[in-house]
Structure 1
Amino acid sequence: MRLHRNLVFAVIDALHLIFNEKEYADKVIEKVLRYDKRWGARDRGFIAETTYDIVRWKRLYAEIAEVREPFSRAQLFRLFTVWCVLKGIRLPDWKQLEDTPERRIKGRFDELSKIRKFRESIPDWLDELGEQSLGEKLWTKEIGALNKQAEVILRVNTIKIQKKQLQALLAENEIETIAIDSHPDALKLKERKNVFVTEAFKNGFFEVQDASSQLVAPFLEVEPGQRVVDACAGAGGKTLHLASQMENKGQLIALDIYESKLKKLKKRTRRNGVHNVETRIIDSTKVIKKLHNSADRLLLDAPCSGLGVIKRNPDSKWKLEPEFIDRIMGIQQDILQNYSKMVKKGGQMVYATCSILPQENTEQVNSFLESESGKDFKLVRAQNVYASESGFDGFYMALLKREG
């Protein structure tokens, strides 16, 4: 691979914004890719993938390069040279890359790779928490799997098109996909492509949604004609999946505390040809009270640590703090206690997170079932989805039925 100065400088700029200015990696990539309209797909791919790779391995590379945050521009180039050496990329004769000790970099890598927190490039506190929560064996496997690059998975919008039709249509655009047998609506891209520019996307034939995330809507067992509430809808990935499972019939109420996210959902419903979704912002407790004892089905896709989706958000390893996990666990239990009142007798709800920690998952459900608010509910089934077993994101889902 031949390195191009303008592309490498764009990567350095991106790393500065992510590490020093604490901006979100996905937003930074979007910003940096607008630098030069002449960049083609390969150039853009190099910038995005190289940046994400260095973000993913920040701790390991910084240890090898012997640099500490905040990183100067020279130190960011040192991180980049470590990436080059470990990838076997020949370094050009640039002053920023002079005097790179290639043999020492490889030696330090071999040394540090024996220690999990360096090998998997994670903060000490997270390594300790993972081992305490999951046990050494499972945590070692799981964090290893979560450090692999996420694959691009599509969810077929069955309101508009069937899986085989979509595969054929994408193949005409030189986008090859593989059906995932265990996920009825999922297609995996054979190689990374920008699918958002396709007519198929603009026509609402698919959404980009990880395979594990696609398990959540079916877990709720919705039926056409029901009243279904998605209480933490966000921008609506799972809302849209629920709508297709309901065959666009019945009432699907999407709630969220952020109006900006619900606006995005409205745009997506139009593109997806979804007509049965109504959005409501949670701006007071009245919004929930009005829906008490009225929902046939309730989805609580609760806010969480996001530890199960590190492979697609590698910068979250550096933004996450122990205090946040403690705080979010309080919010999760509040959501279970208060929002569960929307389920009517005989109705069902799913509590889901994109976390792998039992304290955010099974322990939350058990606490709810033992409480006054949960006394009428029964656990029907639960599922832990681990990246080390599925190859996709880490997730948790629990289906509960209200009997009393």
Structure 2
Amino acid sequence: MRLHRNLVFAVIDTLNNVFNEGKYADKEISKALKRDKRWGSRDRSFIAETVYDIVRWKRLYAEIAEVKEPFSRPNLFRLFAVWATLKGIQLPDWKQLEDTPTRRIKGRFDELSKTRKFKESIPDWMDELGVKELGEQKWTREIAALNQMAPVVLRANSLKATPKKLRDSLFAESIEAHSLKKYPSAIELDERANVFSTEIFKEGFFEVQDASSQLVAPFLQVEPGMRVVDTCAGAGGKTLHLAAIMENKGQIIALDIYGNKLKELKRRAKRAGAHNIETREIDSTKVIKKLHNSADRVLIDAPCSGLGVLSRNPDAKWKLQPEFLERIRNTQQEILSDYSKILKKGGKIVYATCSILPSENQGQVKSFLASEEGQGFSLEDEKIVLSHESGYDGFYMARLIKNT
């Protein structure tokens, strides 16, 4: 593989923004890919995958290169040299890459790979927390799985297409994909491709949605004609799935504290042909109070640490802090307490997170059921989805029923 100077410089500039300016990797990569219209799909893949790789393995590569944050430009090139050496890529004769100690890099890699926090490139506190919550063996397997690049999974929008029709339509656009047995609406791409530029995306045939995330909407057991409230709807991935299952019949009220996310949901709903969704911004407590005792089903896709989706958001390893976890657990309990009041007697609520930590999952449900607000609720079912077992994102979902 021959390295091209302009592509490598784009990688270095992007890494500088992510590591030194605190920017988000996905947004910075999107910006970088617009820099040169002459770049083809292979060039773009090189930039995106190299940046994600170096972000994912930042701690390991920094230990090998013996550099510390904030990374100077020469040190970012050292990180790049470590990446290239470990990938078996021959380094060009550039001033920025001269005197790279290739043999020492490989030796340091072998030595550091004996220690999990270096091998899996994670902060000390995260490694300790993982062991505490999941146990040594399970955490070792889980963090290794979360360091793999996430596959691209699509959800066929049943309002417009079956999975087979979606697969055939993608094939007509030279994109190959296969069905997933345990996930009836899902198909997985055989190779990464820009599906957003396809005609069938514009026509609303599908949404990009991880296979684990696709388990949540069916778990809520919605039916056409029901009144459903999605309390933390965001940009609406699960809202749209609910609309499809409900065949556009009944009502879905999509709530969020961020109005801009709800605007995006409206755009997505229009493209998907989902007409039974009404958006409401939570700008005061009145919004929730007006809905008390009114819904057949309530979905709480709670804000969380996001530790189950590290494979697609590797920079979260470095942005996440222990103090945030403490705050988010309090928020989760408040949300469960407040939003459970929306449900009417006999209704069902699903509490879901994309976290693998029991303290954000089973622990929160247990605390809620023991609280005053949780009286009259009982746990009907729960699903714990770990990445090393499923091959997809880590997720948790619990279905509670309101008996009184």
Q: Is the shorter-chain TM-score for this pair beyond 0.5, marking a shared fold?
A: yes
Q: Deviations over 1:296-316 (max 9, x none)?
A: 000000000000000000000
CA distance in 2: counterparts of 1:298 and 1:121, whole angstroms: 38
Offset of residue 31 of structure 1: 1.0
Pairing 1:58-97 to 2, within 5 Å after superposition: 58-97=58-97
CA distance in 2: counterparts of 1:366 and 1:221, whole angstroms: 22
Residue equivalent to 1:335: 335
Offset of residue 154 of structure 1: 0.2
Aligned length: 404
CA distance in 1: counterparts of 2:166 and 2:130, whole angstroms: 40
Residue equivalent to 2:186: 186
Residue equivalent to 2:202: 202
Pairing 1:266-285 to 2, within 5 Å after superposition: 266-285=266-285
Residue equivalent to 1:116: 116
Offset of residue 353 of structure 1: 0.2
Residue 275 of structure 2 aligns to a residue whose secondary structure is coil
CA distance in 2: counterparts of 1:267 and 1:66, whole angstroms: 47
Structure 2 residue runs of 5 or longer lacking an equivalent are: none
Offset of residue 369 of structure 1: 0.3
CA distance in 2: counterparts of 1:221 and 1:69, whole angstroms: 48
CA distance in 1: counterparts of 2:76 and 2:399, whole angstroms: 47
Amino acid at match of 2:328: I
Q: Deviations over 1:78-121 (max 9, x none)?
A: 00000000000011111111011100000000000000000000
CA distance in 2: counterparts of 1:235 and 1:87, whole angstroms: 37
Residue 345 of structure 2 aligns to a residue whose secondary structure is strand
Query: Does structure 1 residue 288 correspond to structure 2 residue 278?
Result: no
Offset of residue 167 of structure 1: 0.7
Offset of residue 387 of structure 1: 0.2
CA distance in 2: counterparts of 1:218 and 1:360, whole angstroms: 22
Residue equivalent to 1:214: 214
Amino acid at match of 1:198: T
CA distance in 2: counterparts of 1:167 and 1:261, whole angstroms: 29
Residue equivalent to 1:169: 169
Residue equivalent to 2:137: 137
Query: Does structure 1 residue 2 correspond to structure 2 residue 2?
Result: yes
Structure 1 residue runs of 5 or longer lacking an equivalent are: none
Offset of residue 34 of structure 1: 1.2
Amino acid at match of 1:111: E
Amino acid at match of 1:50: T
Query: Does structure 1 residue 314 correspond to structure 2 residue 314?
Result: yes
CA distance in 1: counterparts of 2:179 and 2:375, whole angstroms: 41
Residue 292 of structure 1 aligns to a residue whose secondary structure is coil
CA distance in 2: counterparts of 1:166 and 1:303, whole angstroms: 31
CA distance in 1: counterparts of 2:144 and 2:52, whole angstroms: 16
Residue 38 of structure 1 aligns to a residue whose secondary structure is coil
CA distance in 2: counterparts of 1:166 and 1:102, whole angstroms: 46
Residue equivalent to 1:260: 260
Offset of residue 398 of structure 1: 0.1
CA distance in 1: counterparts of 2:315 and 2:166, whole angstroms: 33
Q: TM-score, normalised by structure 1?
A: 1.00
CA distance in 2: counterparts of 1:121 and 1:221, whole angstroms: 39
Amino acid at match of 2:282: I
CA distance in 2: counterparts of 1:390 and 1:256, whole angstroms: 29
Amino acid at match of 1:43: D
Residue equivalent to 1:23: 23
Q: Deviations over 1:338-397 (max 9, x none)?
A: 100000000000000000000000000000001111111110011110000000000000
CA distance in 2: counterparts of 1:87 and 1:163, whole angstroms: 36
Offset of residue 163 of structure 1: 1.0
Aligned CA-pair RMSD: 0.4
Query: Does structure 1 residue 300 correspond to structure 2 residue 328?
Result: no
Residue equivalent to 1:105: 105
Residue 284 of structure 1 aligns to a residue whose secondary structure is coil
Identical residues among aligned pairs (%): 70
Offset of residue 252 of structure 1: 0.3
Residue equivalent to 1:386: 386
Offset of residue 189 of structure 1: 0.2
Residue 400 of structure 1 aligns to a residue whose secondary structure is strand
CA distance in 2: counterparts of 1:266 and 1:393, whole angstroms: 26
* Structure 1 runs (4+) greater than 4 angstroms displaced: none
CA distance in 2: counterparts of 1:121 and 1:347, whole angstroms: 44
Amino acid at match of 2:164: K
Pairing 1:142-157 to 2, within 5 Å after superposition: 142-157=142-157
CA distance in 2: counterparts of 1:62 and 1:243, whole angstroms: 46
